[in-house]
Amino acid sequence: MRQALGIDALTGIYARLAPRYDWQHRLITFAADQRGRKMLVEQTVREGDRVLDAGAGTGATGLLAARKAGHSGVVTLFDLSDDMLDRARDKAEIEAMDLRLEFRSGDMVQLPFKDASFDVVLSTYSLCPLYDPAKGALELYRVLRPGGKLGCAHSAEPRNRAVKWLADKVENIAWRFPWLSMGCRAVDVLPTLQKAGARVVLQKHIGVPLWPFVVFVVEKPATP
């Protein structure tokens, strides 16, 4: 796993990326990113839910979740970058979303929420740039209520060895241009969550062969 970029570097990159993040991420992933977001929201969010979108960025997932949670639900959009959250806020205003949204800024590895605060926690493509993805995943799990669902989508290593070799070469080049790599690298957090007691309810591989994603949903057992 590549060395993650520091918080200051990420803040700078995402401040510059904010205006073009949506289309750039969609282009790089051949629109597989949207499939992941829709799949997770579909599988996890119900009307009235209290939802956390961690690493919410420009709100691509959080706003989908807000529509599904409806007027009786509330969605907290959490991100390191104020600039990305500003885009999310603008989008919600443009779409005249009369739904309950909250915006909080901070570090996903040190979430500022009480234990068991949310019915649903979502992380779409936000564990990949974290300096400690396993610790970040455990934080997401901590703030999830027993019986609640955690849905994640993140970059993964290609399973085919030859493709993995090629992907590695491409990534080496991309890594020199942070605006292109967005600080993202393949991570693997599911074993950590399972060790903590999470029960896997969905696991899928999406994306293109050179740039695959894992999408999964885990449930926190109601009684430990």
Partner 1 sequence: MSTAVDPRLLEILVCPLCKGALVYRKEAGELICKADRLAYPIKDGIPVMLEDDARKLDPAEEVAG
Binding positions for partner 1, rule: CB under 8 A: 7, 80, 82, 85-86, 89, 92-93, 96-107, 110-115, 117
In the bound state with partner 1, the residue whose beta carbon lies nearer, of 99 and 198, is: 99
In the bound state with partner 1, the residue whose beta carbon lies nearer, of 92 and 215, is: 92
Task: Tell me the C-alpha distance between 215 and 217, whole Å.
Answer: 7
CB of 51 to partner 1, least distance (A): 12
CB of 100 to partner 1, least distance (A): 6
Calculate Rg over the CA atoms of the chain.
16
Owner of token pair 């996890």: 44
**Paired strand residues for 154:** 214
Given phi > 0 = left and psi -120 to 50 = alpha, else beta, which region is 164? Answer: alpha
In the bound state with partner 1, the residue whose beta carbon lies nearer, of 78 and 211, is: 78
What Å distances lie between residue 85 and 10, 17, 44, CA to CA? Answer: 14, 12, 22
CB of 39 to partner 1, least distance (A): 25
CB of 112 to partner 1, least distance (A): 4
In the bound state with partner 1, the residue whose beta carbon lies nearer, of 54 and 214, is: 54
